[in-house]
Amino acid sequence: MTARLLIVGPQGSGKGTQGARIAASYGIPVVSTGDIFRDNIKNGTELGRKVQAITDAGDLVPDEVTSEIVRDRLSQGDAEGFLLDGYPRNTAQVAHLDEYLAGRGDELDAVILLEVPREESITRITQRAAEQGRSDDTEEAVAKRLSIYESETAPIIDLYEPRGIVDRIDGVGELDEITERIMSALAARGLATVAA
C-alpha cells in the first residue's frame, strides 16, 4: 500500500525536515510547492519571476497556479504515493485536491499537523533566514505569512478532522523525538514503511 500524506503546520514548524524523513521512510516523493517555486526562481523561469515578485511582497501564490503545479507533479509516474508540503493551504485548494484525487480513485491516508507555538515559529524562521540568507524571511514577511496561515490554512484542519485522518503532533522538541511521534501515529493507522 502506498501512503498519500499531507503535512501541515505554521512556517518554521519543521515541515520540510520532517517531511523529507517521512517520505524517505515510505519511499514516496515530497511534493513541496515551496521547493518547486524556489527551483523556478533559482532557474529564472517565467513562473520563477512571477513567484519572486509575489513572495517578495509577502503574499502567497494564487490558488490556480499552485493547484496546476501540484496536479502536474502528482500526475508523474513516481507519485502514486506522495507527501504534500505547503498544499493545500486553504479550503479552495482542499476542494481542488479532493477533486483531483477522486478522479484517480484516491484519497489522503493521513494529515500530519505539526503544532508549534507562534513565538517558536518566528524564532526558528528568523534563525533560518540568518543561516540561509533567505530574502523572503524578513520579520514582517514572516508575521504576515503566519497570520495568513492562521486565517487560511488552519481552517483546512476543520475539513479533514471529520474524515478521521488528522494526527496532531507536538512539533516542539528534538528532531528525532518529533519524527518518532509522527511515525508512531502513522503506524497506528496501519501505514507500513518501506524496508530499509
Residues tagged active-site = 15, 89, 128, 134, 145
Cα separation of 47 and 57, whole Å? 16
CB-facing half-sphere around the CA of 54: CA atoms within 13 A? 18
What is the four-CA torsion angle of 117, 31, 24, 173, rounded to 10 degrees?
0
Task: Find all residues with CB under 8 Å of 77, minimum gap 6, and list them.
Answer: none
Cα separation of 160 and 143, whole Å? 26
